[in-house]
Amino acid sequence: MSPPPAIPKAGGPGSVIRKSNSSGKMLSMSYSESMRSGISRYHSDQGLNQPRPTDPGELQRLREQRHAAQVKNMEDFLKMNGLALEECVSYQTGMKYRNLGKSGLRVSCLGLGDDLSTTSLPLSFLSLAPLSGQQMAEQLLCLAYENGINLFDTAEVYAAGKRSSLVITTKIFWGGKYVVSSLVVCLKASLERLQLEYVDVVFANRPDPNTPMEETVRAMTHVINQGMAMYWGTSRWSPMEIMEAYSVARQFNQIPPICEQAEYHMFQREKVEVQLPELFHKIGVGAMTWSPLACGIISGKYDSGVPPYSRASLKGYQWLKDKILSEEGRRQQAKLKELQAIAERLGCTLPQLAIAWCLRNEGVSSVLLGASSTDQLMENIGAIQVLPKLSSSITHEVDSILGNKPYSKKDYRS
């Protein structure tokens, strides 16, 4: 699937299409005119040039159709002018796209996730979310898409009119409660919520110790052969378990996993920097990482304790509060103050430095972001601009402060 186009903001001049040559301004003006006329024709064909309805369901339908018209018109315009979507998006946002492991699936180096380990706002399907959450979810998803993100790691996502350029994943965990055949039932239920015929990647979320590996591999192969998913991956599996899945798949002519979802940040490095690169070179399994800010610890907001209304102060997050207030937590905060000085020298925020630090590892296909506001999302996306500033000397300085660079038999340079 191709990287997504950047969608012009409502009422904007269509300036997402900018070229460095002299024809850029003319293309931008032409696109604005083409967009307006194209949408007008589409609305006429669909009978949408009518008085604005008041029914919420009808309003939602009109928004979806209007967005579909914008996307189609942009794709037609770019094709007519010989422009590539990835070129236009990269020119505007600097977003980079990498293959997921050794598969042919191209994903943005930053993705958007909805797990509580990476975000405080579940990106629920709009019709199921409360009004305020519905509006915020729509803003976050559209903003991410406009800035070149094409990877959405969520079980429920707003995808109307944009499916051809998105990479959507979902996670399944049966946890010994059901036989593996129920994986098909779970995935079908997820697809119904997504209102999609298939997902790009289905992840086995944690290995099931009560199920033979052969059954898990056969179940994943079955859903792929049925057209319900294009690939499958693992989440929170050990390297030994991933290797076993690969071996079983090869032994029985089944489909092996292409990716592992793993926690990766400045204070947790061993698995992603040592173990997964070995698996990548041996069997082609890539890394999709989550929690680049360590559940908010690296955000800098806990440098003076646990402020009210922060995640660590919420009910059910006592474990996080204990971790922050522990002796190790205090040592981490001291290191973050030193890293803050580096961020200031680079002209970025501490979260941007932390995310760019994760991105510097080219063995990482994509880093999943979490955001509870549009400002936070835009700040995190700004980490892409920090990535070129991470010279070898800066990286060495960061490693010296952290003091936790894992030992590797080989030098996997990013």
Catalytic residue IDs: 158
If you count DSSP H runs as helices and E runs as strands, how many of each does the chain have, helices first?
15, 10
Name beta bridge partners: 110.
367
Distance CA 322, CA 182 (A): 37
Answer yes or no: are the C-beta atoms of 200 and 169 closer than 8 Å: yes
Read off the tokens for 171: 């996670």
Q: How far is it, in rounded angstroms, from Cα 336 to Cα 85?
A: 38
DSSP letters spanning 273-338: IIIHHHHHHHH--EEEEE-TTTTTGGGSTTTTS--TTSGGGSTT-HHHHHHHHSHHHHHHHHHHHH
Cβ contact 260:233 at 8 Å? yes
Please identify which residue in the block is written with the tokens 């060495």: 396
Contact between residue 175 and residue 134 where contact means Cβ atoms under 8 Å apart: no
CA–CA separation, 281 and 102 (whole Å)? 9
User: How far apart, in whole angstroms, are the C-alpha atoms of residue 381 and residue 407?
Assistant: 30
Instruction: Specify the pairing of strand 97-99 against strand 106-108.
Output: antiparallel
Name the DSSP class of 363. Answer: T
Q: Fill in the amino acid letter for 80.
A: M
Q: Which two tokens stand for residue 84?
A: 């590539």
What is the spatial distance between Cα 17 and Cα 59, in angstroms, rounded to a whole number?
A: 29
